[in-house]
């Protein structure tokens, strides 16, 4: 059984996987060598973003080794479940990287609420309106251009954390084979009920033979969950986080703080009666 991917796609996946390894090393070097003004920003950069990127980089290796993109046969159950576990951790860390990047910005540029108090956790996020206004127009435009991608990240992270866990189907059945698949399923149940386990196993084997594995992950069919080809998705997610991180540090280096005082002074004025 042939691979789900075309030959040119397999080549591109291998090239991108190698590129990510070098990108990871370069970004980790930046995080370790950079001098931060804020201790908390340094912690979020090295202990937060850096550790998450390390886990993501390793997860990509494990995913590609356990379920190689060249593989055409359905993976063993253990391999499929372990890959699902890795992907759930991966999507959690993608969201975590974005949150860590936002906190690096907050602490390194001393972002505060309008009244000068510390920002609440709920207001810290790259796409949060209040924080978004503190970015340069170019970085703000870039973040807004990633609206669909942010939604994808949140969808998979939120479902895995709070609703239905992610799932890699063992195989997919073509529409034309669906009636035969259903018939074999009914026969298998009938064989099980009469205690004929040999016939049961035979019917199940014939069912499985009709399926073809596709490296797709989703969560709830009831919620009409989006699905993605996970080999491609994990690579794209890493590259996107990598790009945002570099742009963020450029933002910090070019940041010019706005003097405080005027706004807080105006806020204390009482309206005329």
Residue of higher predicted confidence among 173 and 98: 98
Residue of higher predicted confidence among 40 and 226: 40
Question: Which tokens sit at 210?
Answer: 């009709």
Residue written as tokens 């991180």? 245
Residue written as tokens 């003097």? 259
Judgement on whether residues 103 and 203 belong to the same structural domain of the protein = no
Enumerate residues 6+ apart whose C-beta is below 8 A from 235.
13, 16, 17, 20, 60
Which residues pair with residue 217 across a beta bridge?
A: 228
Domain that includes residue 90, residue range: 7-169+216-267
DSSP strand pairing (172-173 vs 216-217): unpaired
Enumerate residues 6+ apart whose C-beta is below 8 A from 66.
75, 79, 82, 83, 86
pLDDT of residue 266 exceeding 70:
no
3-state secondary structure of 13: helix
pLDDT of residue 178 exceeding 90:
no
Whole-number pLDDT of residue 33: 96
pLDDT of residue 270 exceeding 50:
no
Mean pLDDT, to the nearest integer, of 137-156? 91
Judgement on whether residues 90 and 137 belong to the same structural domain of the protein = yes
Mean pLDDT, to the nearest integer, of 247-258? 89
Judgement on whether residues 116 and 66 belong to the same structural domain of the protein = yes
Residues 171 and 216 sit within 8 Å (Cβ to Cβ): no
Mean pLDDT, to the nearest integer, of 161-183? 84
Domain membership of residue 164 (yes or no) is yes
Residue of higher predicted confidence among 57 and 4: 57
pLDDT of residue 48 exceeding 90:
yes
pLDDT of residue 268 exceeding 80:
no
Of these ranges, 86-90, 116-120, 255-259, 264-268, the one predicted with the greatest mean pLDDT is 86-90
Judgement on whether residues 101 and 131 belong to the same structural domain of the protein = yes
Residue of higher predicted confidence among 134 and 123: 134
CA-CA distance, 59 to 66, in Å (whole number)? 10
Q: What is the pLDDT of residues 51-87, one digit of tens each?
A: 999 999 999 999 999 999 998 888 899 999 999 999 9
Nearest Cα to 47, choosing from 104, 2, 132?
104
pTM listed for this prediction:
0.84
Domain membership of residue 272 (yes or no) is no
3-state secondary structure of 216: strand
CA 145, distance to chain mean position in Å, is 17
Judgement on whether residues 75 and 195 belong to the same structural domain of the protein = no
Whole-number pLDDT of residue 259: 61
Residues 56 and 26 sit within 8 Å (Cβ to Cβ): no
Judgement on whether residues 61 and 125 belong to the same structural domain of the protein = yes
Tally of domains in the chain: 2
Mean pLDDT, to the nearest integer, of 213-231? 83
């Amino acid at each position: 059984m042939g691979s789900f991917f075309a030959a040119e796609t397999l080549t591109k996946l291998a090239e991108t996987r190698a590129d990510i390894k070098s990108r990871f090393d370069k970004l980790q070097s930046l995080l370790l060598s950079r001098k931060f003004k804020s201790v908390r920003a340094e912690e979020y950069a090295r202990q937060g973003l850096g550790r998450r990127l390390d886990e993501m980089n390793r997860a990509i290796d494990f995913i590609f080794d356990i379920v190689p993109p060249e593989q055409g046969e359905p993976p063993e159950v253990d391999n499929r479940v372990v890959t699902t576990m890795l992907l759930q951790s991966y999507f959690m860390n993608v969201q975590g990287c974005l949150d860590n990047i936002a906190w690096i910005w907050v602490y390194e540029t001393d972002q505060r609420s309008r009244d000068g108090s510390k920002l609440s956790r709920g207001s810290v996020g790259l796409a949060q309106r209040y924080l978004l206004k503190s970015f340069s127009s170019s970085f703000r435009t870039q973040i807004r251009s990633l609206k669909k991608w942010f939604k994808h990240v949140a969808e998979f992270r939120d479902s895995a954390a709070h609703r239905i866990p992610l799932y890699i189907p063992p195989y997919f059945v073509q529409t034309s084979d669906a009636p035969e698949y259903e018939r074999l399923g009914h026969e298998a149940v009938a064989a099980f009920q009469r205690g004929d386990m040999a016939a049961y196993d035979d019917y199940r084997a014939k069912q499985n033979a009709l399926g073809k594995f596709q490296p797709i992950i989703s969560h709830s069919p009831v919620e009409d969950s989006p699905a993605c080809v996970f080999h491609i998705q994990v690579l794209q997610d890493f590259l996107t986080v990598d790009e945002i991180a570099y742009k963020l540090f450029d933002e910090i280096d070019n940041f010019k703080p706005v003097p405080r005082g005027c706004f807080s002074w105006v806020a204390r004025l009482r309206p005329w009666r």
